[in-house]
């Protein structure tokens, strides 16, 4: 997770990218610093002494690479060694090398990500103390900056000090986010949980520290300083300032303490909610189907495999109600009674899970109330492009009105199909019918050509090679297989890519963890482990104030040494990202072949990763994907448009065995199949966005509030099928935590990217000039420029520049005219 003081917790969650000033690309709370025990700075680090300072301190790399490792990484990226495998070889026939360790251990020469303190779970825990120790020094330096008699020089450094503080803490907490989600070793995952919770708690106390706020406020209100700020500095400062104010900095001491307690409770409840999302509910683990012939539509071999003989000697099929089996039944089984039983069992209401979700929603509501806002939605959306829940509701309403006719038309097709199949002229569509009849009507409407499926043209290696070729065309950037040192990755299947710019050389690193395994979170996600920022002007030597003595043995996290960037002054730490997917690894060393949805997922997540690589700023808090949630989705959703374009597919989509290009007829048939029932799919996304807004609205404050009842009411008024009593699918809607009040951003992003595609890329999707236009106006800025200005510049539309109601109306109108 990364946070910058101002948007400290940004989670996706991604995007699966918490948006805080110290914030992460995966979770989002809108906070300045994510926080631990509220021990004083003097107790944890040192106290001013009258005698001359004699510091006894050991500098550790914290979560940074040392100079030797940085140099090794840079040299590996530009290596032209003939032994370097191609991207297809790397991902389709991964090498077995003695230089790759299964996971970091006490004997490993390197730590995870080449971080020297990530060699063992124990050293990972040590990194928390080192980060907090450095953090305390920076906090005290900021707090005492106004006292310095240096003509305002120290005050001029305050924004940089805030950014450094954010970077120090986020490097640890972001690494913890990856480890706890992806590492196969329970000891590592437990250490990561401890690291995450301790740092998050301490960062919460920073969000409510009035000394820090007062100094920052003074900087922004001192004309001699403010007038000399760059655009990026001003944006960084405003992000921190807003998050301080969002965190109730003006409250009394007692209420600020209450804010910290509530924030810690949100994290705990959020963790419980996310665990609940992936655990079975109270319904039966299996449904019993007798006779097994009622499962017609499934593979006969599968039916035979799950068929048992009961005590009465009858044949009974025992069908699991979780995972892919339930989806398979709902999509393929002809017997409506079986589908109904599966839906009710798999979606059964778990009152304990509902209680956790409702407690999470009410706790966030209490946070908003504490700072004087009517709902958490108002609290979360205040610094987003949409500004407030009212604008979100207007956007979703406009989108819905524009799709009404299409939804009704598609719904009639499904309704007619059910009445024909059941020979019941009064039959109505139910929740357990949708997937079945969508598949049935689509298969009858769109006939796929004989021969290999479309997956044969999208091996993982082929797709990664295609992404590299696309980025080379658009930006002059390519992927080069990197050298993996022992202990550097958490699993043998993790591959390392150096990201190389034709003008600037190595610009970052991406670790690819593409295959599912036990203990790994299977949701596709992009994690930013380290952001770009300038490091040579850190002024680290002045963190220890004159007259301060540090306790013996204190360890301090130190800055990354950075590398020299072509065309830029100074040295920069390079961004480091992780892409995780849950693809299936076939046996026998065969290449993994991806479905179209999986290829879309990979393109989408790579859009986030490239934003992290290209958005290299002087400041951690505005680099890469550290921008509002409704803006951060735009580069990733745009990638889905590229995937759908024949010219882009022509760059790489070839048969994994023969090398033959993707047949035009197969592509056309597939696209026709995908476009069927697009309006109903859009309606489903809109419904989820509406539920998300409802559950973070003022209605949560009612004593009678219950999320299941709220969902049923919404389904009755806006749903295409009636609610099913006794079910509660909202307890599995994980985005309610990581994207709380922000799920609209996907539809918002689809609307904006459709306009970008039509305006900038439609006529020349692989054009370097179009790619550079996107890079210059959007990608390179990260969060260092107002997103509405970025969008207005890209589309050359002055109406967008102000980001006001007129700007929102323009975007809403796009949704009614441009295909999404």
Q: pLDDT value at position 95?
A: 54
Mean pLDDT, range 680-709, rounded to an integer: 96
**The one catalytic residue among 233, 605, 633, 640:** 605
Mean pLDDT, range 527-555, rounded to an integer: 88
Helix axes 253-277 and 351-370, enclosed angle (nearest 10): 150
Of 538, 696, 702, the C-alpha closest to 620 is: 538
Mean pLDDT, range 312-338, rounded to an integer: 93
Round to whole Å and give the CA distance between 83 and 78.
13
Q: How confident is the model at residue 85 (pLDDT cuts 50, 70, 90)?
A: confident
Who's near 496: CB < 8 A, 6+ residues apart? 481, 482, 483, 484, 488, 489, 509, 510, 511, 512
Q: pLDDT value at position 818?
A: 67
Tokens coding 716? 């009755």
The residue written with tokens 């068929």 in the block is 307
Q: Where are the beta strands (DSSP E) in 407-504?
A: 477-481, 495-501
Lowest mean pLDDT among 97-106, 186-195, 619-628: 97-106
Who's near 87: CB < 8 A, 6+ residues apart? 461, 464, 465, 468, 479, 481
pLDDT tens for each residue of 578-589: 999 999 988 888
Q: pLDDT value at position 449?
A: 64
Q: pLDDT value at position 45?
A: 36
The residue written with tokens 């680290």 in the block is 540
For the cut 80, the answer to whether the pLDDT of residue 310 exceeds it is yes
Mean pLDDT, range 639-654, rounded to an integer: 95
Mean pLDDT, range 543-557, rounded to an integer: 83
If you average pLDDT over every residue of the chain, what do you get?
A: 86
Q: pLDDT value at position 434?
A: 95
Mean pLDDT, range 316-327, rounded to an integer: 90
Round to whole Å and give the CA distance between 645 and 636.
15
Cβ(371)–Cβ(259) below 8 Å: yes
Mean pLDDT, range 19-36, rounded to an integer: 33
For the cut 60, the answer to whether the pLDDT of residue 61 exceeds it is no
Q: Of residues 13 and 75, which shows the higher confidence score?
A: 75
Of 94, 82, 85, 16, the C-alpha closest to 460 is: 94
Q: Determine what percent of the chain falls in helix, strand and coil, rounding each to the nearest 5.
A: 55, 10, 35
Q: What is the largest CA-CA distance in the chain?
A: 94
Q: How confident is the model at residue 47 (pLDDT cuts 50, 70, 90)?
A: very low
pLDDT tens for each residue of 741-778: 999 999 999 999 999 999 999 999 999 999 999 999 99
**For 171-190, b where at least 16 C-beta lie within 10 A, e where not — what string?**
bbbbbbbbbbbbbebeebbe
pTM: 0.85
The residue written with tokens 């005219």 in the block is 817
Lowest mean pLDDT among 18-22, 57-61, 151-155, 645-649: 18-22
Q: Of residues 246 and 434, which shows the higher confidence score?
A: 434
Round to whole Å and give the CA distance between 178 and 124.
13
Q: How confident is the model at residue 14 (pLDDT cuts 50, 70, 90)?
A: very low
Of 574, 650, 467, the C-alpha closest to 91 is: 467
Q: How confident is the model at residue 44 (pLDDT cuts 50, 70, 90)?
A: very low
| 154 is annotated as an active-site residue | no
Round to whole Å and give the CA distance between 95 and 113.
20
Round to whole Å and give the CA distance between 548 and 551.
10
**588: DSSP letter:** G
User: What's the distance, Cα to Cα, between the start and end of the chain in Å?
Assistant: 31
Cβ(58)–Cβ(554) below 8 Å: yes
pLDDT tens for each residue of 720-736: 999 999 999 999 999 99
pLDDT tens for each residue of 777-804: 999 998 889 999 999 999 999 999 989 8
């Amino acid at each position: 997770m990364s946070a910058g003081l101002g948007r400290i917790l940004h989670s996706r969650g991604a995007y699966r990218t918490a948006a805080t000033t110290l914030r992460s690309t995966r979770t989002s709370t809108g906070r300045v610093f994510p926080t631990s025990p509220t021990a004083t700075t003097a107790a944890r680090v040192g106290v001013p002494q009258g005698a001359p300072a004699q510091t006894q301190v050991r500098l550790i790399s914290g979560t940074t690479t040392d100079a030797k490792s940085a140099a090794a990484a840079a040299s590996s990226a530009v290596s032209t060694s003939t032994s370097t495998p191609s991207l297809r070889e790397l991902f389709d026939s991964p090498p077995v090398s003695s230089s790759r360790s299964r996971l970091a251990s006490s004997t490993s020469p390197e730590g995870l990500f080449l971080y020297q303190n990530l060699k063992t779970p124990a050293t990972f825990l040590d990194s928390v103390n080192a980060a907090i120790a450095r953090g305390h020094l920076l906090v005290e330096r900021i707090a005492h900056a106004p006292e310095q008699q240096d003509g305002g020089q120290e005050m001029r450094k305050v924004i940089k000090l805030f950014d450094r503080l954010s970077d120090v803490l986020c490097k640890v907490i972001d690494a913890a986010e990856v480890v706890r989600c992806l590492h196969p070793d329970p000891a590592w995952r437990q250490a990561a949980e401890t690291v995450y919770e301790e740092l998050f708690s301490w960062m919460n106390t920073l969000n409510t520290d009035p000394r820090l706020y007062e100094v920052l406020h003074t900087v922004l209100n001192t004309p001699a300083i403010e007038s000399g700020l760059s655009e990026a500095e001003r944006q960084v400062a405003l992000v921190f300032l807003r998050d301080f104010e969002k965190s109730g900095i003006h409250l009394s001491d007692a209420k600020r303490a209450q804010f910290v307690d509530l924030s810690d409770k949100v994290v705990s409840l959020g963790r419980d909610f996310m665990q609940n999302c992936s655990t079975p509910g109270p319904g039966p683990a299996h449904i019993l189907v007798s006779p097994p012939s009622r499962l017609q539509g499934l593979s006969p071999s599968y039916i035979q495999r799950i068929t048992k003989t009961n005590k009465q000697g009858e044949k009974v099929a025992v069908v699991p109600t979780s995972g892919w089996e339930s989806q398979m039944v709902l999509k393929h089984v002809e017997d409506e009674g079986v589908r109904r039983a599966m839906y009710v069992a798999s979606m059964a209401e778990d009152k304990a899970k509902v209680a956790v979700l409702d407690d999470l929603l009410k706790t966030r509501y209490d946070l908003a109330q504490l700072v004087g806002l009517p709902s958490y939605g108002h609290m979360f959306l205040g610094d987003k492009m949409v500004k407030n829940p009212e604008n979100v509701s207007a956007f979703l309403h406009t989108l819905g009105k524009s799709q009404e006719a299409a939804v009704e038309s598609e719904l009639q097709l499904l309704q007619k199909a059910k009445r024909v199949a059941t020979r019941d002229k009064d039959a109505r569509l139910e929740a357990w019918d949708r997937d079945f009849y969508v598949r049935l009507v689509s298969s009858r409407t769109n006939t796929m050509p004989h021969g290999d499926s479309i997956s044969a043209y999208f091996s993982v290696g082929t797709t990664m090679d295609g992404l590299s070729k696309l980025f080379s065309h658009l930006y002059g950037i390519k992927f080069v297989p990197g050298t993996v040192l022992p202990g550097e990755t958490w699993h043998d299947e993790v591959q390392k890519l150096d990201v190389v710019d034709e003008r600037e050389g190595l610009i970052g690193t991406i670790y690819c963890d593409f295959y599912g395994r036990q203990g790994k979170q299977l949701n596709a996600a992009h994690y930013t482990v380290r952001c770009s920022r300038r490091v040579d002007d850190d002024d680290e030597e002045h963190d220890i104030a004159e007259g301060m003595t540090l306790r013996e043995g204190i360890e301090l996290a130190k800055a990354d040494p950075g590398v020299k960037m072509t065309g830029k002054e100074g040295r920069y730490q390079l961004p480091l990202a992780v892409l995780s997917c849950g693809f299936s690894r076939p046996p026998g060393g065969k290449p993994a072949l991806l479905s179209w949805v999986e290829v879309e997922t990979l393109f989408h997540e790579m859009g986030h990763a490239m934003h992290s690589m290209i958005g290299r700023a002087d400041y951690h808090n505005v680099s890469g994907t550290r921008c509002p949630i409704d803006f951060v989705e735009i580069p990733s959703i745009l990638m889905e448009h590229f995937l759908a374009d024949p010219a882009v597919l022509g760059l790489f989509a070839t048969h994994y065995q023969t090398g033959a290009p993707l047949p035009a007829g197969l592509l056309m048939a597939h696209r026709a199949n995908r476009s069927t029932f697009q309006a109903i799919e859009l309606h489903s996304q809109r419904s989820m966005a509406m539920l998300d807004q409802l559950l973070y609205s003022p209605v949560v404050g009612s004593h009678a509030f219950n999320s299941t009842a709220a969902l049923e009411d919404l389904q009755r008024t806006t749903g295409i099928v009636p609610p099913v009593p006794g079910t509660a699918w909202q307890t599995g809607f994980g985005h309610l935590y990581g994207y709380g009040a922000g799920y609209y951003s996907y539809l918002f992003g689809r609307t904006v990217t459709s306009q970008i595609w039509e305006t900038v890329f439609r006529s020349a999707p692989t054009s370097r000039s179009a790619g550079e236009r996107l890079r210059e106006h959007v990608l390179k800025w990260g969060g260092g420029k107002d997103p509405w200005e970025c969008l207005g510049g890209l589309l050359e539309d002055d109406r967008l520049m102000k980001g006001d109601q007129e700007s929102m109306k323009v975007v809403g109108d796009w949704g009614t005219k441009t295909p999404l």
